[in-house]
Structure 1
C-alpha cells in the first residue's frame, strides 16, 4: 500500500479567482450582505446591472429565503470573510458549491450538502430556495460564455 504525503503547500486555500462566475458572485453576495445597507445596495445594483430588475428581485428574494433558512435551521453560522479578502473560507466554498449543485439538479449531492448546513426540517426548503437563487446566476454565466464565444478573434 502506498500512502501520499502532503505538505502545507499542497493544500493552498481557494481564491475567488478559482471559482466559476456564478460561484464568485454568490460568495460576494454573501459577504456584502453582511456589511449592512451599503453592501446590500451594492448587491442589488450588481444584480440589476447583469440580470435586469425583475430577475434581480427574484434572485434577491431567493437569497433572502436562503439566509432566513440558514438562520432558522442552520447548525451554526457560516464563517464569512470580509469582502476585500481574496481567499475563501471553507463555509463560503461549501455554500457556493451547494447552491450550484441544487440549481444543476444534482439532488443527491445537494441533499447531502444541505444536511451539513441545516437540520432535517430545513433541508428541502433550503434546496428549493438555493435552486431559485442559483438559476439566474447560471443564466448570467451562460450568457457571458456565449458572448465570449461569439466575439470575433
Structure 2
C-alpha cells in the first residue's frame, strides 16, 4: 500500500512563512538549490543580512536535529501545498520573531525536547527577523524602488 502525504493549502500563509518553507525545501534539495537560495536572499536583503539569516537558519536546523523528537516532513521544491510539519515550523518561526513567546513555546514543544526549547526560540527569532523585514519592505516599497541594503 502506498501512502500519500496529506498536504495543507498554502494560500493563507504570509510571504515570510512561505519563505521559511521555501528555504527548508531548498536546504533539503542539495548544494545547487542552497546556492540559489543564498543568491536570492543576498539580492533581496543584502549580503550581511542574508549571511546572518542563514547562520540562524543553520543553527535552528542543528537544534532540531540535536533535540528533535522526530525528523520533519519536508516536501520537495515545487510541491503544491505544505506538510503539517512545514506549516507548524513556519508558524513557530513567525511567532518567535514577533515575540509571541507563549505561542512559540507551545509550537516548539512539538519539535524539540525541553533542553532545546529556549535555544530553538532564540535561533528562530534571529532567522525570522530578516524575513519579516523583507516582507514589510515588499508591502511598503514598489518593486522598482526595492534595493538590498548592506
Say whether the fold is shared (TM-score over 0.5): yes
Counterpart position of 1:36: 30
Counterpart position of 1:117: 111
Aligned ranges 1:91-130 → 2 under 5 Å:
91-130=85-124
1:56 and 2:50 equivalent? yes
Aligned length: 138
Residue 73 of structure 1, CA deviation: 0.2
Larger helix proportion of the pair: 1
Deviation >6 Å, runs of 4+: none
1:72 and 2:87 equivalent? no
Counterpart position of 2:10: 16
Residue 42 of structure 1, CA deviation: 1.3
Gaps of 5+ in 1: 1-11
Question: CA-atom RMSD, angstroms?
Answer: 1.5
Gaps of 5+ in 2: 1-5, 146-150
Q: Distance in 1 between matches of 2:24 and 2:10?
A: 13
Q: Distance in 2 between matches of 1:13 and 1:31?
A: 14
- Higher-Rg structure is 1
Higher RCO (C-alpha 8 Å, min separation 6): 2
Q: Distance in 1 between matches of 2:8 and 2:108?
A: 21
The one-character-per-residue Cα deviations of 1:102-149 (angstroms, maximum 9, x if unpaired) are: 00000011111101100000000000000000000000000011125x
Residue 67 of structure 1, CA deviation: 0.5
